[in-house]
Structure 1
Amino acid sequence: MATTPVAERVTTAAEGDVVVFLIGMRINRWRSVRHWLPVLLAMPRMLKELGRAQDDGLLGHQGYASGPRAFTVVQYWESREKLLAYAAAPDREHRPAWAAFNRRVRSGAGSVGIWHETFLVPAGSYEAIYHAMPPTGLGRAYGVEPVARRGERAADRLAGQ
C-alpha cells in the first residue's frame, strides 16, 4: 500500500459502476473471547485469500476501528456478481467462516455482532477528490488521475461520468 501523499489534486480513475461492500463486527462482551476472536481473525484470512487471486474481483479494501469495540472494512469490488460468487463459493474462506459464526451465535448469546451493507453505485453517481493524500478509498482501488481530466468541481466530476 502506497503511503506517500500525492501532491496534486487527483480524483479516482474509476469508470462505470462501482460496488462498495461494508462489513463490520462489534464485540458485545469482552470476556467472551472464544466467541469474538474467531470472528475478528476470519476477515484478515479472507482478505489475504482475495489478495492472492486477482480474478476474484476485490479491487481494494481499507479497515478501520470504528469504536473501541467495533471494526469495519470498506471493500471495492469489480462487480456484484464477483462479490456474490466469492460469498457463496464452498471452497473459499468465507463459507466456512460464515458457518462457524452461525454456530457460535447460537451458543454466544450476543457476545459478538456482525453486519454488512452492499452498495451498487451506477456510473455518474459517485465522485472523489484527494489532495495531499496517499491513494485512499476509490482512488486506491481504481487508481487516481489528475482532477482536471474529470472537472475542477464536484458537480463537474459527477456530471462527467
Structure 2
Amino acid sequence: MFAKPVRGYTTAAADGDVVVLLIGMRINHFRAVHQWLPVMLSMIRMLRELARDQDRGLLGHVLLTASPRTYYVVQYWASKEKLYAYATSPDMFHHRALTAVNRKQRQGGARGHVGLWHETYIAPEGSRESVYFDMPPFGLAKAHGQVPVERRGRSARDRFAHRSQPAPEPGKTV
C-alpha cells in the first residue's frame, strides 16, 4: 500500500514544459453540507475519470488541505493542450459540473456557501527544480519519474540549468 522510499537524493525526471494546475474549494459555511459536499465529491469523481483514461493527460496529483475549510488538488499535466481539452470536453464530467455551478450562480442559489478556485502554471525548463531525500516518488517526481540527483545536478543552480536538449550556440539558429 505504501510506496517504499528511494534512498538518497533524487530529483524529478521532467523534461520540457511542466504544467501544474492547483484547483480547490473553500467551505464558507460548514452547516451548508448540501452545498459543499457535492463539490468535494465532484473533485474526486473527476480525478477518477481522469485516472481511467491516461490519454487525457493527467500525469499525477496530490490531494492537500490548507485549513479545515480549504481543500485542493495539485495536478501535473502532460500539456496545457490536454488540460484545455479535458476542461472543455462536453463528454467529460468537468463540463457537467461547471455547467451546474454556472447555472446555480445565475439563479442566485450559490449564496457563498462554497468558494471555488484554480491556478494554472507552465514551468519551462530552467524555471524549476526539485529535490527529494529518502522519499518515495512524490509530486512532480511521481508524475514525471524520479532520477538520482547527480543526473540533474547536486545543487539547485545545476538543476535549474538542466536542459533535455542542448541549448543552441550563441548566434546559431535551430
TM-score scaled by length of structure 1 = 0.96
The one-character-per-residue Cα deviations of 1:120-139 (angstroms, maximum 9, x if unpaired) are 11111110000011111100
Amino acid at match of 1:28: N
Query: Match of 2:23?
Result: 23
* Map of 2:160 onto structure 1: 158
1:123 pairs, out of 122, 125, 131, with 125
More helix by share: 1
What secondary structure does 1:123 align onto? coil
Within 2, Cα distance between the matches of 1:4 and 1:114? 34
Structure 2 residue runs of 5 or longer lacking an equivalent are 164-174
Tell me if the contact between 1:59 and 1:78 (Cα under 8 Å) persists in the aligned partners.
yes
Shift of 1:104: 3.3
Query: 1:13 Cα deviation (Å)?
Result: 0.5
Report the equivalent of 2:104. Answer: 104
Structure-1 residue corresponding to 2:78 = 78
Greater Cα shift, 102-111 or 11-20? 102-111
CA distance in 1, matches of 2:77, 2:135: 22
Alpha-carbon distance between aligned partners in 2 of 1:133 and 1:104, rounded to the nearest angstrom: 43
Distance in 1, matches of 2:83 and 2:43, equals: 15
Query: Aligned equivalents of 1:160 and 1:142: distance in 2?
Result: 15
Do the aligned partners of 1:39 and 1:101 also contact (CA within 8 Å) in 2? no
Q: Secondary structure at the match of 1:21?
A: strand
Q: Is 2:60 the counterpart of 1:60?
A: yes
Q: State the AA in 2 paired with 1:151.
A: G
In structure 2, what is the Cα distance between the partners aligned to 1:110 and 1:23? 18
Partner of 2:168: none
Letter in 2 for 1:158: F
Aligned residues: 161
Deviation at 1:35, TM superposition (A): 1.0
Structure 2 residue aligned with 1:93: 93
- Residue 8 of structure 2 is matched in structure 1 by 8
Preserved CA contact (<8 Å) 1:35 1:104 = no
- Which runs of 5 or more residues in structure 1 are unaligned? none
In 1: Cα distance, 2:133 partner to 2:9 partner = 5
What percent of counterpart residues are identical? Answer: 55
* Aligned position for 1:51: 51
Could you list the runs of 4 or more consecutive aligned residues of structure 1 that deviate by over 3 angstroms after TM superposition? none
